[in-house]
Amino acid sequence: MLYALLAIMGLGLVDSYFVSFLGTQELAAMGFIVPIAFTMTSVSLGLGMAISSLTSKLIGAHKLELAARLITDGFYLTISTSILLSIILAWQLEPIFTLIGAEAEIMPAIMAYMNTWLIGCVFLMLAQVCSSTFRAIGDTKTSANISIILTAINLFLDPLLIFGWGPVPAMGIQGAALATVIAVFSAALISLYYLGVKERLLLLQLPNWSHFKDNLKQLSGIAFPAMLANAIVPITGAVITSLVALFGTSAVAGFGVGGRIEAVSLIVVYALSATLPMFIGQNLGAGRKDRVALAITLAFKFVFGFQLLIYLILITFSEPISALFSNEPEVQNITKSFLWLIPVSYGFSGVVILTNVTMNVLGKPVIAMYINLVRLFLIYLPLAFFGSQLFDVKGLLIGVSIGNLFAFILAFALLKRVLKELNIALIWN
C-alpha cells in the first residue's frame, strides 16, 4: 500500500508538472479543479470504506456468497452515485467554480478540463472502490499494482495528449483530462476483471429487492458518515491556512512547504490506515478478538516509534530541507519552525487517523465523524487561533501540535470505550 500511495501522489504531480508548461492560467485552473476532484474522492473513499469494512467481516466468517452480493450491490451504489454527481456538476459547473473564486479568464481552461474529466468520473470512483475491495479480501498486492499501472498510463499519455506527437494533435489541458480518463478507465476495467473473473465476487444476476435494500442500508450507514469525516480534513487545512495567511505570503509559503513534507512524513500511517481496518474486519468475522486487540496495539506502538524517528530526522536536517524549497530567509525560518514544532506530534496524529478507520470497521462510523468534528471546531481551531494571538506564527504551530495531543486523548478514550463494549482489551505487554 505504500507503493500504491506513492503512485497516487505521483498522479497529481505528473498532471501539474506537464500542465505547467502550458502557462499560468492552465496551472491556476488545475488549482481550482483540485477541491472538486477531492470531493469526488471523498465520496468514493466513503463508499470504499463501507464496502470493504462489511466485506472483510464476511470474508473472515467464510460467507463468500454474501460477500459477493454485498460487493455487487455496493458497485451498483457507486455507479449510480457517480453518475448523479457528474450530472449535477455538469449542470452547475460554471456557477460552482465562480463561487470558489475562479475568474473569467481562467474559466475556459477549467471548462475544457472538466467537460472531459466528468466523462471518466464513474471509472475514477469505481477504480478507487475496487482498490478498497481488494484490500478487504486481503489482496493488497493487486490493489497496489493497479494503482501503479494507473499512474504509469497517465505518465505516458500526458505529454502525448497535451503537446501532441505525429498524428496525435496537441489538446492542451483537455489532453491532461483525457489522459486521466483513459488511465482510470483502464484501472477500473482491470479491477473489475480480477474481482469478477478471478475472485468471482461480482454477480451477474440482479439482486433480490429485500436483500438489496438491506445491503444499501448497511452500506449507507457507514458510507455517509465516512464521507463527511473525510470532507472535514481539507476544511481543517483550509481554515488553518487562512489563519496563517494573516501573517503574510512568506508565512503561507513556509507553511505550505511544511504541509507537503507532512504528507510524505505520514505516508506509512496512511498505508497502515488502508490495511489495518481490513485485518480487523477479517478477524472480527472469524471471531479472533485476540488478534484484533494485538493488531491495534502493535499498530499504535509502531506509529509512535516510527514517527519519533521521522521527527528526529526532520529536526536534524531542518536547515538543508528548508533551503531546498526556498531561497528566502523568512520562508526558510517558517519552514524550520514547522519542522521543529509540528512533527513532534505526528505520533498522536497517526493514532487518531488509525482510530478513525478502526471505528468504521467496528461499526461506529458516527464516532469517527464526531472525533473529526470535535478535533476541528473545539480543539484545532481554538488552540491555533489563541496560539497565533500570543506568539504569532510559532504560537499557531504550537497550538496545532497541542491540538494533535488533545485529539489523541479524545480518540483513544472513545476507542477504549468501544473496544470494551466488544469485550476487546488492548495488549500492551
At 14, the pLDDT band (50, 70, 90 cuts) reads confident
pLDDT higher than 70, residue 45: yes
**Could you tell me if residue 217 is inside a domain?**
no
**Could you tell me if residue 428 is inside a domain?**
no
Residues 269 and 133 reside in one and the same domain: no
Residues 202 and 339 reside in one and the same domain: no
pLDDT digit string, tens, across residues 304-314: 999 999 999 99
**Could you tell me if residue 429 is inside a domain?**
no
165: β partners: 168
Q: What is the mean pLDDT of the chain?
A: 87
Q: What's the one-letter identity of residue 124?
A: L
Residues 159 and 247 reside in one and the same domain: no
Residues 68 and 202 reside in one and the same domain: yes
pLDDT higher than 90, residue 79: yes
pLDDT at 234: 67
Residues 192 and 46 reside in one and the same domain: yes
Q: Which domain holds residue 99?
A: 2-207
Residues 98 and 160 reside in one and the same domain: yes
**Could you tell me if residue 119 is inside a domain?**
yes
Question: Which of 207, 238, 267 is the endpoint of a domain?
Answer: 207
pLDDT digit string, tens, across residues 354-368: 999 999 899 898 998
Least confident of 48-52, 191-195, 255-259: 255-259
**Could you tell me if residue 215 is inside a domain?**
no
Q: Whole-angstrom Cα distance, residue 336 to residue 320?
A: 10
Across the range 32-43, mean pLDDT stands at 78
Burial 122-133 (b: 16+ CB within 10 A, else e): bbbbbbbbbbbb
Which segments within 60-209 are labelled E, that is strand?
none
Q: What percent of the chain has pLDDT over 90?
A: 43
Asked if 75 and 259 count as a contact pair (C-beta separation under 8 A), the reply is no
Residues 292 and 161 reside in one and the same domain: no
pLDDT digit string, tens, across residues 293-349: 999 999 999 999 999 999 999 999 999 988 887 788 888 898 899 999 999 999 999
Residues 69 and 143 reside in one and the same domain: yes
Name the DSSP letter for residue 14: H
Residues 157 and 73 reside in one and the same domain: yes
**Could you tell me if residue 384 is inside a domain?**
yes
Is the Cα dihedral 21, 24, 29, 33 positive or negative? Answer: positive
**Could you tell me if residue 427 is inside a domain?**
no
Question: Which of 178, 207, 236 is the endpoint of a domain?
Answer: 207
Question: Which of 173, 207, 241 is the endpoint of a domain?
Answer: 207
Across the range 24-53, mean pLDDT stands at 80
**Reported pTM:** 0.80
pLDDT digit string, tens, across residues 370-410: 998 888 888 888 998 899 888 888 999 999 999 999 999 99
How many folded domains does the chain comprise? 2
Residues 191 and 281 reside in one and the same domain: no
Residues 80 and 9 reside in one and the same domain: yes
**Could you tell me if residue 286 is inside a domain?**
yes
